[in-house]
Each structure stands twice: as structure tokens, then as C-alpha cells.
């Protein structure tokens, strides 16, 4: 996956996808890994700390507990760790919570991404991969979704924040030649899946013999 001598920053490195990505790099390369996470309370921080137990003491990994919304800290991190690649998987996720706390999503997902892009512009990197979301397609988008499909209006602050982050990334690619790649994942599942996601909730209910919650009349 990587070449010897790389120093790879993974944001959200203690999360579901980020922690798996750290382990994958450790298995398939000898690159240095910087695992960045602020262990916020969007869900139980103890779950995230458990996610990193397999690699937190690995000499190939540098653990950093910090928010990527801190511009000064990001400039310092990129310089001190000589970051050459970025995998930006840190974010506030979830449609319903974003409706209740839109300013939090704007701060983390838009301003935080901007902080990382600025750091990558200041200390050029070879690759900047950022996780967007399928929610960017929004209402009115033609199904099945394609990368080159017309984008509808996002139906939540979360979707809007991810679309705004995409546009900021594309702007930095065009204006400053930051090599940005945007991913639009759909319903990813697997070990360490967040506790608030449908697959986790449904699986737990099935295992415990509990009925699934039904919203509306169940016609959708």
C-alpha cells in the first residue's frame, strides 16, 4: 500500500474505519503512521480507546490526541512528523444528530477539513484522501448514484457539511495542487462499527430477541 519512508496521517484513527486502516498499513507496509483522534463523546470514548489497543504501543505508530480543527497544531504536526500522505476519516457523522447540532458539524467537517487542507498546502503532501459521504447526493439525485451524477440538495446539515468539505478539497486541488481524492462511502459495516448505526442496532436486537423500532407506517 505504501512506500518505505512515507509518513501517513490518519485522522479519526481510533474510529471504526480509521483503526482498520492503521492496521492495514501496519500489515502491508513499513510506513510511519500518525494516528490522530480527539476521542470526543459523540459515542463512548472507551470504545475508541479499545479500538487502538492492538497498535497504540507499536513503534511504527505515533498516537496524537488532538482535534484537527486546531490550525496551529496541524501545521506543527505536519512539520514535526514530516507528513507525506493524509487519510482524512475524522468527522462528526450522523444525519439526525446533525439536525440537532448543525454548528458542531460545520465546525468539525468543514472548518476542520479546511485546517488539514491548509496544512497540506503549507507542507505539500503526495496524496490527500478524504472520506465524504453518500448523503451528498441529496434529494433529487438520480438513482443509481454515480460519481459523475448531478448532485441534489443535501437533506441534512451532515450531508451539506460533507458536500462543502468536498468542494473545499476540489478548490484546493485546483488552486494549490493539493492532490485530493474524495470518497463517497455508503453503508459500510464490519467489526468495530459505531454503536449508533442501523447494522449495529439491528444485529443487537436480533441477538437479544427484541423487536426492531418501526418509524412511520413502515411503508418506506
* Residue 205 in domain: no
Please, what are the averages of pLDDT over each run of 10 residues along the chain (220 residues)? 74 94 94 95 89 94 96 97 97 91 96 98 96 83 73 88 96 97 86 77 84 72
pLDDT digits (tens, 9 = 90+) for 34-57: 999 999 888 889 999 999 999 999
What is the domain count for the chain? 1
What DSSP element (H or E) covers 50? Answer: helix 45-51
Tell me the longest C-alpha to C-alpha distance in the chain. Answer: 56
- Counted residue by residue, the chain has a size of 220
Residue 220 is predicted with a pLDDT of 57
Residue 193 is predicted with a pLDDT of 77
What DSSP element (H or E) covers 86? Answer: strand 85-88
Range of the domain at 121: 7-193
* Residue 213 in domain: no
* Residue 108 in domain: yes
Catalytic residue among 92, 137, 158, 172: 158
- Global pTM reads 0.86
CA–CA distance, 167 with 161 (Å, rounded to integer)? 10
The answer for residues whose C-beta is within 8 angstroms of residue 180's C-beta and 6 or more apart is: 117, 128, 129, 130, 169, 170, 172, 173
133, three cell numbers? 459521504
209: left (phi over 0), alpha (psi -120 to 50) or beta: left
* Residue 131 in domain: yes
* Residue 47 in domain: yes
* Residue 209 in domain: no
Residue 203 is predicted with a pLDDT of 83
* Residue 98 in domain: yes
CATH number at residue 146: 3.40.50.720
* Residue 70 in domain: yes
Beta bridge partners of 180: 128
The answer for residues whose C-beta is within 8 angstroms of residue 154's C-beta and 6 or more apart is: 135, 136, 138, 160, 162, 163
Bond from prior residue into 188 cis (ω within 30 degrees of 0): no
CA atoms within 13 A on the CB side of 138: 17
Q: Is 158 a residue of the active site?
A: yes
Residue 218 is predicted with a pLDDT of 63
pLDDT digits (tens, 9 = 90+) for 152-164: 788 899 999 999 9
Amino acid at each position: 500500500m505504501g512506500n518505505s519512508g512515507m509518513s501517513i496521517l490518519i485522522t479519526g484513527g481510533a474510529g471504526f474505519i480509521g483503526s482498520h486502516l492503521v492496521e492495514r498499513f501496519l500489515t502491508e507496509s513499513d510506513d510511519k503512521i500518525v494516528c490522530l483522534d480527539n476521542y470526543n463523546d459523540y459515542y463512548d470514548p472507551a470504545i475508541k480507546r479499545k479500538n487502538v489497543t492492538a497498535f497504540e504501543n507499536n513503534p511504527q505508530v505515533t498516537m496524537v490526541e488532538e482535534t484537527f480543527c486546531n490550525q496551529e497544531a496541524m501545521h506543527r504536526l505536519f512539520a514535526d512528523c514530516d507528513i507525506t500522505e493524509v487519510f482524512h476519516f475524522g468527522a462528526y457523522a450522523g444525519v439526525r444528530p446533525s439536525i440537532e447540532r448543525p454548528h458542531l458539524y460545520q465546525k468539525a467537517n468543514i472548518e476542520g477539513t479546511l485546517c488539514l487542507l491548509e496544512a497540506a498546502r503549507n507542507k505539500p503532501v503526495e496524496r490527500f484522501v478524504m472520506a465524504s459521504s453518500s448523503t451528498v447526493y441529496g434529494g433529487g439525485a438520480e438513482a443509481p448514484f454515480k460519481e459523475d451524477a448531478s448532485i441534489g440538495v443535501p437533506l441534512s446539515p451532515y450531508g451539506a457539511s460533507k458536500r462543502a468539505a468536498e468542494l473545499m478539497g476540489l478548490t484546493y486541488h485546483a488552486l494549490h495542487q493539493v492532490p485530493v481524492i474524495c470518497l463517497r462511502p455508503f453503508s459500510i459495516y464490519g467489526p468495530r462499527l459505531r454503536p449508533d448505526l442501523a447494522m449495529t442496532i439491528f444485529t443487537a436486537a436480533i441477538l437479544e430477541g427484541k423487536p426492531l423500532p418501526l418509524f412511520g407506517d413502515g411503508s418506506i
